[in-house]
Amino acid sequence: MRVAELSTPALVVDLATLDHNIDSMAAVRPGQSLRAHVKAHKSTALAAYAAGRSGSNSFCAATLREVDGLIRAGLGHDVLLANETLDIGALERSVNLARESNARLTIAIDSPETLGVARVAAGNGPLEVLIDVNVGMPRCGIAPGETGALAESARQAGLSVRGVMGYEGHVVGNTDRAFRVEQVAASMELLRAAHEAVGGGIASAGGTGTFDLHHWADEVQAGSFLLMDTSYSALDLPFRQSATVLATVISVNRSDGYAVGDAGLKAFGMDHGEPTIIGHTMFFTSDEHVTFVPGVGHNVSVGDRIHMVPSHIDPTMAMHERVHVIESRNTDGTVPLDAEVIDTWPVDLRNW
């Protein structure tokens, strides 16, 4: 199949750019110093490809569905649920699966309640914990001064405490690198204090936007670097856009100077803003449509293809069932329509 034959909206990734991104990350975070976050792409095939190229075979996930998918795909060498859960039934199933597959499973806890769930689930098989620390982002995480007591309670409950994790999510997307440097340092001082109280061999932190700013943490939880989006592209990182949503022009209004494509709100995560269209100007998106103004010199016709770049790759991936893989893209970032689709990777970890 050629790209021109794909039904749209179609998510397309090129290997040349993907390989560049994998290699750029590995140059700074080689091996186990990267804990690749699968929530960004939700595809075990993509995770396996990246691990095979980089040698980084520890993963983190945001949901137990992602955890289970990684283990079933043979990617259970070291899997972290970097999130709290109170779903005892689902966690018990994951622990059973880890035991049967000889996988290593760790989960984040930040309260007596999440510790209690972990303690019960650990009765079914191997389960370890990291203490999730609030390092400045108003989301999950226990106060640094309370970490030692929670870790001691976990050990008394018979659980192995591997260390701490802290996500400076309030920092990773800031376009001012000097600000990111300053705030990462401040966040890591909090995590360092917590680690001293907790003990264990792991301090896990970070993301794509701060991947090269961690000189103390043992591992960085980055995932978006593989595919990228317009939000992260604004940070002047060494990673390039490897994912594009291909759409078809289904209507042209020449008197008013706009055209319409067949990829709208149901094809993109919109929390970071509108997607962009290479060579054209975005007007607005609706459920199944994107309305745009053709670029200067572009005589757009019904049936033409447009090349759209998401502003936030993570939720965009969750809206697609598969990724079409090609060898490379054009120098302007568009996808060559005559390119061969060399593989199709299921987005098998989507949904909850």
Which pTM does this prediction carry? 0.96
Q: How confident is the model at residue 203 (pLDDT cuts 50, 70, 90)?
A: very high
Q: Are residues 215 and 248 in the same domain?
A: no
Q: Are residues 170 and 202 in the same domain?
A: yes
In this structure, what are the phi and psi dihedrals at residue 44, rounded to the nearest 5 degrees? -70, -30
Inform me whether the pLDDT recorded for 235 exceeds 90.
yes
Q: What local confidence, expressed as pLDDT, does residue 352 receive?
A: 83
In this structure, what CATH number is given to the domain that contains residue 243? 2.40.37.20
Q: What local confidence, expressed as pLDDT, does residue 281 receive?
A: 97
Q: Are residues 119 and 214 in the same domain?
A: yes
Inform me whether the pLDDT recorded for 222 exceeds 90.
yes
Which of 221, 256, 275 is the last residue before a domain boundary?
221
In this structure, what CATH number is given to the domain that contains residue 116? 3.20.20.10
Q: Are residues 64 and 196 in the same domain?
A: yes
Q: Which two tokens stand for residue 321?
A: 């069932």
What are the start-end ranges of the E strands in the chain?
10-14, 36-37, 59-61, 79-81, 105-109, 128-132, 160-166, 202-205, 219-220, 243-253, 258-261, 276-277, 281-285, 290-293, 305-309, 322-326, 343-346
Q: What local confidence, expressed as pLDDT, does residue 188 receive?
A: 98
Q: How far apart are CA 220 and CA 32, in angstroms?
A: 9
Q: What local confidence, expressed as pLDDT, does residue 228 receive?
A: 98
* Assigned domain for 152 exists: yes
Q: Are residues 206 and 309 in the same domain?
A: no
How crowded is the C-beta side of 72, counted as CA atoms within 13 Å? 12
Inform me whether the pLDDT recorded for 297 exceeds 90.
no
* Assigned domain for 294 exists: yes
Q: How far apart are CA 128 and CA 160, in angstroms?
A: 5
Q: Are residues 191 and 299 in the same domain?
A: no
Residue located via tokens 């994790």:
165
Q: Are residues 100 and 162 in the same domain?
A: yes
Domain range enclosing 257: 3-10+239-346
Query: Based on the structure, what is the number of domains in the chain?
Result: 2
* Assigned domain for 233 exists: no
Which of 193, 221, 249 is the last residue before a domain boundary?
221
Contact 275, 195 (CB under 8 A): no
